Amino acid sequence: MTAPTLEGDQNVQPLIEMHDVVREYEIGGERVRALNRVSLTIEHGEYVAIMGPSGSGKSTTMNMVGCLDVPTSGTYRLDGIDVASLNDNELAALRNLKIGFVFQQFNLLSRTTALQNVELPMMYAGVSRKEQRARAEEALAKVGLSNRLQNRPNELSGGQQQRVSIARALVNRPALLLADEPTGALDSHTTEEILELFEDLHHQGHTIVIVTHEAEVGRRAKRIIRFVDGQVASDSHSGSRSGPQPSDSRPHSQSDSVLSVSARVSPTPEPLSSEPPSSEPVGEVF
């Protein structure tokens, strides 16, 4: 077998491909099945919300998609790469190459400026100092914060802090923006601001997967995957909005656990600069 390359090929394979994924936990001799044979496919360029009641398996799915966890059984391919074939270091490398994380609580370093927060992931990625600065400025411009480069998190509003964290997630040019309750700590006005930003990023070709409890946040995505009891209970495309859409408009079954969208050629996210992304592993998760 040839060694897996971490580059993948976005024109050939889905970005996310789970087949019959089971994740079981053992607590006090008892087995809890957090995911029960989940199969789903997400293509490059999609904007997806993952919803469902508490305990339904959303976080477990996010951890799986984000390569923070691997299936007990079944397969997960990220950009064509079977995560089960990777050791911990390779998994970390894949994660840092492919995924930008956004969290409910922003997870910014409080004593450093917006610019430094966004530069941080590139320090681990072996990007030159000059290039770090240029790319961080560009990422912050992309989220509308060119005028807040030198501000520390406590000098920024909640919405601005979340925009810094989105800039940080984008700065290594990941294939996937993965957000866990990104508006959970924001008021409705600020939530709207962040939803507009996600919409912009979607139109630019970024692939976005959001876990959310909020109906309005889910409604703004182009596809909602609902989990109940560790299984996909429904999977619906809105189709009514503009932006990248699957070229195949076959209706999707509401209850079928195999929910694949046909392969299609997807747009490439607008690069933040002309340099190719570094494939060096990053030691932290952002």
Interface residues toward ligand ADP, by CB under 6 A = 25, 27, 32, 34, 52, 54-60
Residues that bind Mg ion (CB under 5 A): 59
The count of C-alpha atoms lying within 13 angstroms of the C-alpha of 133, restricted to the half-sphere facing its C-beta, is 3
**Nearest distance from residue 191's CB to Mg ion, in Å?**
19
Give which of ligand ADP, Mg ion, none residue 32 binds (C-beta under 5 to 8 Å, depending on kind).
ligand ADP
Nearer to ligand ADP, 53 or 271 (CB): 53
The β-bridge partners of 82 are: 77
Q: Is 276 exposed, middle or buried (0-12, 13-18, 19+ CB in 10 A)?
A: exposed
**Nearest distance from residue 24's CB to ligand ADP, in Å?**
9
Strand residue runs (E) in the chain: 16-27, 30-42, 47-51, 73-78, 81-82, 99-103, 176-180, 207-211, 223-228, 231-237, 258-259
**Nearest distance from residue 56's CB to ligand ADP, in Å?**
4
Nearer to ligand ADP, 52 or 159 (CB): 52
Helix runs in the chain, H state only: 58-65, 88-98, 114-124, 129-142, 158-170, 188-203, 215-220
State residue 243 phi and psi, 5-degree precision: 105, 175
Q: Which residues contact 25 (CB under 8 A, 6 or more apart)?
A: 31, 32, 34
**Nearest distance from residue 35's CB to ligand ADP, in Å?**
8
The β-bridge partners of 226 are: 51, 234
**Nearest distance from residue 43's CB to Mg ion, in Å?**
25
Closest CA to 58 of 28, 86, 38: 38
Nearer to ligand ADP, 9 or 88 (CB): 88
Give which of Mg ion, ligand ADP, none residue 55 binds (C-beta under 5 to 8 Å, depending on kind).
ligand ADP
Give which of ligand ADP, Mg ion, none residue 1 binds (C-beta under 5 to 8 Å, depending on kind).
none
Give which of ligand ADP, Mg ion, none residue 52 binds (C-beta under 5 to 8 Å, depending on kind).
ligand ADP
Nearer to ligand ADP, 17 or 180 (CB): 180
Nearer to ligand ADP, 70 or 167 (CB): 70
**Nearest distance from residue 213's CB to ligand ADP, in Å?**
9
